[in-house]
A and B are shown apart, each in its own frame.
Chain A
Amino acid sequence: MIDQKIVSYINQQLRNGEDINNIKKALIQEGWTQDIVNDSINYAYNQNIKKQNGGGKMIDMKNPYYCGFWIRFLAAILDGLIIGLPVGIIGWGLAFATGISTLMYVAQLASLILIVYLDGIKGGTPGKLILGMRIVNEEGNYIGIPMAILRYIGKLLSGVILGMGYLMIAFTDKKQGLHDKIAKTFVVKV
């Protein structure tokens, strides 16, 4: 049996960085029954895992089809057209129309937020989604916001080393670029 009051309390304590065993002990000491405590902990814990994994969207990773270099290159071109080009036009347009050149950076920041959100929560940017690809972790879940940021940082590094990090996609077993290796992510076909 789940008690919503306990679930909220557990969530609060987990957010405070408290250990799950300590939370359990405290609740039992307060007089709650073992069954209610266990069920509520399982419920809260699963909820948190689902949240971290971008809502718990699962991709079967038993026999995945890893997407190679060229299809991902095509997805990148599509992303350039769908996100890069409009953001560039809006950014330049805003800067040119208002005479405030720094507004370009706002558009740049907005595109970053969008990319991180889509990669982390929706499983990929529009280019990848259109071509039926998803970015997932080892368990097949969407990677969530923190890992999407780490992956983006990995992309910057992949670019800095003369694009070698991107070329790695073509030569690794699981078609992982440097950014995928860093964030332990995979791009698979759905």
Chain B
Amino acid sequence: MDLQRFLSAYKYIKRSSPAKELKQAEEHSFSIPIAKDIEMTKYLLEETFSTANDFVIRNIKLSTHSGILVYLDGLVNTMTISEHIIKPLFAAQDLKLNEKQPLTHIKESFLIASQIQEKDTYADAIEAILQGNTVLFLDKIPQCLIIDTSEFDYRGVQEPATEMVVRGPREGFTESLLTNMTLLRRKINNPKLKSEQFSIGTNTNTKVLLIYLEDLVDPLVLQEARKRLRSIKIDSVLESGYIEELIEDAPTSPFPTIGNTEKPDIAASKILEGKLVILTDGTPIALTLPYTFVETLQVPEDYYSRAYYASFVRIIRCVCLLISLYLPGIYIATSTFHAEMIPTDLLVTMVAAREGIPWPVVVEVFLIWIIYEALREASIRMPKPMGSAVSIVGALVLGQAAIQAGITSPIVVIIVSTTAIAGLVLPSQTDALGLLRLPFVLLGAIFGFYGIMWGSLILLTHMTSLKSFGTPYTEPFAPLDTIRLRDTIVRFPWWFMPNRPGNLKVSRRSTSLNKALEGKEDD
């Protein structure tokens, strides 16, 4: 292409085109092959990074060619560039390069870097520069060398604050994709551990890794995950939550159909169950899929402690789940409609406690609930040093002042606080439980037990209709899978589970699910 024509066209496009057209034009111009004329390359890159003050072009002179080294300062290790690129190139300044393949000659004989790639379009070169690589262009050569020199400052591997354990590994994912992948590889030393890279976000070009164990993964789920990741159309991805929302089966449901974790041991265990893990650059939160409801009850420590104790704790979690969802609604329903169910002594105590309270039970519950939610939100958002102050205010307001002032009865405080504590036992469902409690309170207040049970059937139907990448959300309860049932409400000892229960998924997957997924593919 003629240099003058290209440059004038590029300038014209940049001056006159609206943003969308400009973008298309730029994408088009970037996808063209690298020009032989180094001046043209230089001009194009300078225009592209015109306002980037960290953009560096370093001229070099070799015996037969002149060239440029291009990188973004801050994303690269400058010592590596000096020692392993510039120094060898200067040392080879007087040597004659291979006339046919000078870049290959440089790559193989002079540069000292772990990864060097030859590319021939501006798009590849620019993407590489943005990812912290250094790119070498030579005059009269329509290719470039992409040399890995990236180095960023990242938070070290620490114990995640959201998933603490008493027994078990303490390391957590970081914001570095490479570190996270390494953490997983250290857990699963197996060449069958595969990772596929995707670049998502038209503006951010965020690197996303889809990780799985080749032998165990369900090929249909893998195919579906690839398809959904490829179909994402978004300008930016700053956290894995963006991806989660864009690929999950039921984004409008209160229940998550994709799991997330900050811990490599959890991610590794999911991979070993034949599931997929998605790592996103810039966030320590990994996504796991398919995700079923029973995973809500499972925590990694269940597998590190004795089976009997783990089973006991899981039953407690189940009870907490029910308390968190139903307790306020049942209390309201019982005290409003079904007082005959309450033993007389307890009923007398309840009535005496409510004496002088000016509003109905449902208003009382709502009032204390709102105060609790406000305190919870404040304690999450406020600076740490103020935590104790809020705790004191909360305890006084909730515990004493409200009761003494006759705004609420002690039993409602107990109900709301028990509900709140129970809800915190299941972190992955805290959002869903918080949302669903409200309808049950209303149904209990208006229709008593009938309303609560009616709502429960609607909720259960909704849950059974959910699927996560073809896997029913309520599996292994329905459809019933007696083998996988061994690791649900009760965890059987390991000798009862020679294979990880999840490993059986592929072989035991019903033909209907396979067909359903295949049908989806066809669509």
| A complexed with B | no
Interface residues of A (CB under 8 A from B): none
Interface residues of B (CB under 8 A from A): none
